[in-house]
Amino acid sequence: MTTNRHLIGHWEIVKYTNAHIEVERDEIALEYPLTVFVNGEEFATLICSPADIKELVIGFLASEGMIRSIMDVQSFHLDRERGFSYVNLHTSIQNKKEFVSKRMIGSCCGKSRQFYFYQDAKTAKTILKSASITPEQCFYLMTELNKYSTLFKRTGGLHNAALCTTEGVMQTFCDIGRHNVLDKIYGYCLLHDISIHDKVIAFSGRMSSEVILKVAKIGCGILLSKSAPTDLALKLANDLRVTTVGFIRNEKMNIYTHSERILIDKGDGESGESINCH
């Protein structure tokens, strides 16, 4: 779990309120450049919050297709002061590295799926198995995520995400980057050998195409958010069979894709039934 010490700094500001000026000490989200070396070669520099670094790096490498499980990792070392992370793998990265940043033009499989990079096409999973969830559980999980959003309320500069069962929150992460919190969830699952197919991700940010790809790479079938999606995100979510639910607030929500996983109580005492808006 992240700690305030690794996420928040302080800055002296001049605050202007209703023509009144005062100097005060404000809390600011920390920004941390982290350069990742794989097998001795510089691989990428991530701009992140300086907490849960191992989870972030492992999840990022899995998302990029560099590893498939934690068994691929021989060693991990963090030089926190210099902002360097060193990962040694059991295999060479040369063949994989060639496609990490290679642009892909056109559609995949004739569908609306517009992958920007080859690695996305290789690593994004179509979700075949997933939990089902009730609207009440959706509201509850977002309420629980908000309870862990105290650092956002203090700084205004952090995103939150939680790995959940349908009954409650398992683990939460914060970061200045909305993609980073998802990589941290991925890394956490790999490090702790957690099965993801029956889990739910609750998320504070906008559901972009990159966010949907991250969720699909993790292998989670349900994404809950208090924010909006983009059109490409919904096209990808529809193709990858990810259930997306947005604007979850005040007992209201919008179900955008694969609504059959949302169980609605018919009001006659029977168990919930799925709905499908497609």
Are the C-beta atoms of residues 182 and 161 closer than 8 Å to each other? yes
86 φ/ψ angles, rounded to the nearest 5 degrees = -115, 120
Contact predicate 223/207, CB 8 Å: yes
Distance in angstroms (rounded) separating the CA atoms of residues 142 and 203: 8
Q: Label residue 262 exposed, middle or buried (CB < 10 Å: 0-12, 13-18, 19+).
A: buried
Euclidean distance between CA atoms 157 and 161, whole angstroms: 14
Residues counted in the chain: 278
Tokens standing for residue 40? 């001795």
Choice among 48, 109, 189, 220 that is catalytic: 109
Known active-site residue 109: yes
Instruction: Give Cα separations from 127 to 42, 211, 222, 239 (angstroms).
Output: 33, 15, 9, 9
- Please list the residues that pair with 163 across neighbouring strands: 171, 201
Q: What is the dihedral of CA 56, 58, 63, 69, to 10 degrees?
A: -150
CA distances from 276 to 27, 41, 263, 273 (A): 45, 48, 10, 10
By annotation, the residues acting in catalysis are 109
